[in-house]
Amino acid sequence: MKKEISICNITAKPDQKAQGFINILDTETKMPITIINGKKEGKTVLITAGVHGCEYPGIRTAIELAKEINPQDISGNIIIVHVVNTAGFEKRRAAIMPEDNKNILRVFPGDGNGTISDKIAHVITNELISKVDYYFDIHGGDLHEELIPHLYYPAKADEEVVNKCIEIAKHFNVAYYAPSNNINGTFTSAAINKNIPSLLIERGGCGLCKEEEVNLYKDDILNILSVLNVIKYERCSKEFSPKEIKKAIYLDARVDGCWTCFVKPGQAIKKGEKLGEISDYFGNIIDTYYAEFDSTVLYNTVAYYVSKGNSLVAYGRS
């Protein structure tokens, strides 16, 4: 007989959907979550959105899928966290958790005795990731970013896990899939520490929540759930056949100043091409950035001001 699923204070019985907020340990912070316990046996899939609170297409995708998916149509289970970083979402703070100024994406697997970001990561790792077979962390360009749809797989995980991740990546409607060498991200920590195939997907940006991007995101997630035999679904359309990025540059600002970018996501660029420049408050150029090799732009920062260490442009080649 199929079992019920409990996460913190929320329980879903077989053929049932349960929704509510889970508490983050001893804090007042809560996360909205939906547990969909399918009618039949199958894989358990975790989907998180809003690790960065202003990446709106992923958040809306999570909210709408949680509402629309019927447990009777499911083989297995789906756990959806609608917004991980609720404070960042409500306060419109890009990239960080306002209470401790940390990037939640970078503190996994977390620490139950740490600051709020560490505790959130600890709960996701131990209460959510530990219960699933696959994990998808859905993102999008933040308030200051624009991008071409792409995703990242955990390159530092065991070979078998990496291979599973790459096979799943090929089913997404994104232009590129790239290796991540981080070991402390949401999806990378899940793959390395728990041996769970995991991906981080990027779609949207600039603080926009376009309906067409949300629809494409939903189509992608439902298609992947179909690939995993969790739900029956026929893809609406597919714009891209994803290519693997073999070499990438993630360019950060070397100085503070006013940033002007000369390239766009998806643009093919040549070695030596000027990518952008930083000037001071008087319009004097103080730093210039050039491409190191022929490649394609994955994302860029659209914010006019950047601080030293901020991301500027990412580009890569197959």
Residue 302 within any structural domain of the chain: yes
Residue 232 within any structural domain of the chain: no
pLDDT of 251 reads 98
The mean pLDDT of 40-69, rounded to a whole number, is 98
Q: Which residues pair with 180 in a beta bridge?
A: 154
Assigned token pair, 301: 């920062």
Same domain, 117 and 260: no
Q: Burial letters for 10-31: b for 16+ Cβ neighbours within 10 Å, e otherwise?
A: bebebebbbeeebebeeeebeb
pLDDT of 190 reads 98
Same domain, 154 and 127: yes
What average pLDDT does the chain have? 97
Residue 49 within any structural domain of the chain: yes
Name the nearest CA neighbour of 172 among 143, 199, 212: 199
Same domain, 214 and 304: no
Peptide bond before residue 109 is cis, with ω within 30 degrees of 0: yes
pLDDT of 237 reads 84
Residue 254 within any structural domain of the chain: yes
CB atoms within 10 A of CB 283: 7
The mean pLDDT of 162-179, rounded to a whole number, is 98
N-terminal to C-terminal alpha carbon distance within the chain? 47
- The residue type found at 274 is K
Same domain, 96 and 165: yes
Q: What is the CATH classification number for the domain harbouring 279? A: 2.40.50.100
pLDDT of 282 reads 98
Return all residues near 304 (Cβ < 8 A) that are at least 6 apart. 258, 259, 260
Which of these three, 201, 227, 253, is where a domain ends? 227
249-292 pLDDT, tens digit per residue, is 999 999 999 999 999 999 999 999 999 999 999 999 999 999 99
Write the CA distances from 303 to 101, 192, 239, integer angstroms.
Answer: 19, 34, 28
Which of these three, 174, 192, 227, is where a domain ends? 227
Q: How many domains does the chain have?
A: 2
Residue 240 within any structural domain of the chain: no
Name the nearest CA neighbour of 42 among 231, 222, 171, 234: 231
Same domain, 219 and 74: yes
pLDDT at residue 111 is higher than 90:
yes
In which band, very low, low, confident or very high, does the pLDDT at 303 lie, cut at 50, 70 and 90? Answer: very high
Same domain, 287 and 261: yes
pLDDT of 311 reads 96
Same domain, 68 and 188: yes
Same domain, 222 and 286: no
Assigned token pair, 132: 């699933």
The mean pLDDT of 108-136, rounded to a whole number, is 98
Assigned token pair, 8: 């913190």
pLDDT of 94 reads 93
Residue 287 within any structural domain of the chain: yes
Same domain, 252 and 162: no
Q: Do 92 and 53 contact (CB within 8 A), yes or no? A: yes
Assigned token pair, 146: 């624009």
pLDDT at residue 82 is higher than 90:
yes
pLDDT at residue 236 is higher than 90:
no
In which band, very low, low, confident or very high, does the pLDDT at 30 lie, cut at 50, 70 and 90? Answer: very high
Residue 13 within any structural domain of the chain: yes
Same domain, 271 and 150: no
pLDDT of 69 reads 98
Same domain, 106 and 48: yes
For 251, the domain range is: 245-317
Same domain, 59 and 144: yes
Residue 48 within any structural domain of the chain: yes
